[in-house]
Amino acid sequence: MDFDYDLFVIGGGSGGVRAARVAAAAGARVALAEESRMGGTCVIRGCVPKKLMVFASSYREGFADARAYGWDVADGSFDWARFRTHLHKELDRLESVYRELLSGSGVATFDQRAMLDDPHTVRLADGSTHSAKHILIATGGRPERPGMTNDHLGIVSDDIFDLEELPRRMLIVGGGYIACEFACIMNGLGVEVTQYYRGAQILRGFDGEARGLISDMMEEKGVNLHLGTNIVDMAPESARHVGVPDGGNASDAAMGAPTEVKSPASEAARGGPVWVKASNGQEGVYDAVLFATGRRPNTDGMGLEKAGVEVGRRGQVVVDEYSQTSVPSIYAIGDVTNRVNLTPVAIREGMAFVETVFNGNPTPVDHDLIPSAVFTQPEFGTVGLSEEEAREQEPVDIYCTSFRPMQSAFAGRQDRVLMKLVVAKESQKVLGCHIVAPQAGEMIQLAGIAVKMGATKQDFDRTVAVHPTMSEELVTMKTPVRSA
């Protein structure tokens, strides 16, 4: 049978664009449809603008440090409008780079929503249909509100980059990557930040000691962090004054089913202050409430059922180790499969898909020992097992040190960093490496190579220290602080 294309990719994020380009380079006739902007979450409303905001927010401490180092600098004020204009110019530039990469590779692009008609047919929003031998779903995910009364008054991470002005007081709900990163960013930009996390400690699932230090440091730097706390009630501050709660009986605001986020610019991004009551009895008024309460795969209304593609309980496309769905001609990669929701993983999955389908070399995706970073202040870089996970698996030796690093200590700051190795007692293999420190993301990329190669504690010890650095501690820790 003749098809219009060898491959039709739905979704122009990091994973979809990479798969499309690499497949085209392998000689395939490729098309790609994207309903929003080319580049997807990472480039347009995630990693890239977030990291630029991390940089912007780090200057406040930098000014104070510079004075301690002998520079005559005054505290400047932050101009959000100026930064935002520059930020959007940069995002426009990056989007055009993505478009050029696609057209340069000979990929046909459609700026439209696409859905499945059958295992080999894609229907576009304009009604046209296109047949393809293979279809790749790479539609990513989207933020999800908690599903409580009036939660439309809150914003989500997509909205941050379009805020008209910086809030003076901000409440952030959640304790995951996004909540903690934005709590630090906003605090650094001078916003009065309160953070509610419903659990006992932020960053659930990561190493306990690292989580403890990050939460201590966040509080020390000014984030008003409340653990074991959630919103029980919220209403527009204006409605409260006239006694009309918006959206029904606000006291019924128990957490319900998560609410879908429809438009990127939510109501609250433009609305006034929001009154909030917390489970600890505290009441407050905030100029913005950010719900960083998780993300959901983008699979609604895509015709997956019609095409016979199996969808899981969280709305994710179910795939095997080759990213193949229950329909042999349809594959899926990235956040829409809800495996490991990180940009470089989606890119790897896209490359492995092309290798499998177009280069005749079946390549499963290796999801083991993926290094990652949380861009809190200080940063957190991590690879492998946490102490808690490793202890469940086998006896371990823990090597850990926490200290005040030279650069900030000289400036009179109390910041501490943490270097930690989780080592298997018997094999002496390093099972996990956890770093809380400025630039920990850069460090863990390199430590990740050693851990992925199966390095032992003795391999670390054989490596000569680079002095004076923070990370030299990773190769100079002689005695375990404990065994478990």
Contact positions toward ligand NDP, by CB under 6 A? 146, 173-179, 181, 197-199, 204, 230, 255, 292-295, 341-342, 372-375
Which SS3 state, helix, strand or coil, does residue 314 take?
coil
> Smallest distance, Å, CB 196 to ligand NDP?
7
Nearest CB to ligand NDP, comparing residues 146 and 448: 146
Between 33 and 374, whose beta carbon lies closer to ligand NDP?
374
**Residue 396 CB, nearest distance to ligand NDP (Å)?**
24
CA distances for 435 relative to 176, 384, 425, 448, angstroms: 17, 12, 21, 11
Shortest Cβ 294–ligand NDP spacing (Å): 4
Active site residue 467: yes
CB of 154 to ligand NDP, least distance (A): 11
Mapping DSSP to helix (H, G, I), strand (E, B) and coil, where does residue 13 land?
A: strand
* Cβ-based nearer residue to ligand NDP, 259 or 326: 259
- Cβ atoms of 136 and 256 within 8 Å: the answer is no
Phi, psi of 141, rounded to the nearest 5 degrees? -140, 180
Closest CB to ligand NDP among 134 and 175?
175
DSSP string, 135-182: EEE---EEEEE---TTGGGSB-HHHHTT-SS--SEEEEE--SHHHHHH
What is the C-alpha separation between 422 and 35, in angstroms, rounded?
Answer: 44
To ligand NDP, the closest distance from the beta carbon of 397 in angstroms equals 28
Q: Which of 381, 435, 438 is CA-nearest to residue 413?
A: 438
Give the residue with the Cβ less far from ligand NDP, 116 or 179. 179
Residue closer to ligand NDP, measured from CB, 34 or 181: 181
Three-state secondary structure of 58-109: HHHHHHHHHHHCCCCCCCCCCCHHHHHHHHHHHHHHHHHHHHHHHHHCCCEE
CB of 376 to ligand NDP, least distance (A): 9
Tell me if residue 202 falls in helix, strand or coil.
coil
**Amino acid occupying residue 130:** H
Q: How far apart are the first and last CA of the chain?
A: 61
What is the radius of gyration, based on Cα positions, of the chain? 24
The residue (of 255 and 411) whose beta carbon lies closer to ligand NDP is: 255
| Angstrom distance (rounded) from CA 172 to CA 210 | 21
Residue 307 near residue 119 (C-beta atoms within 8 A): yes
Q: Is 199 helix (H, G, I), strand (E, B) or coil?
A: coil
What is the widest separation between alpha-carbon atoms in the chain?
A: 74
**Among 224, 225, 220, which Cα is nearest to 415's?**
220
Which residue of the set 152, 241, 367, 467 is catalytic?
467
Active site residues: 467
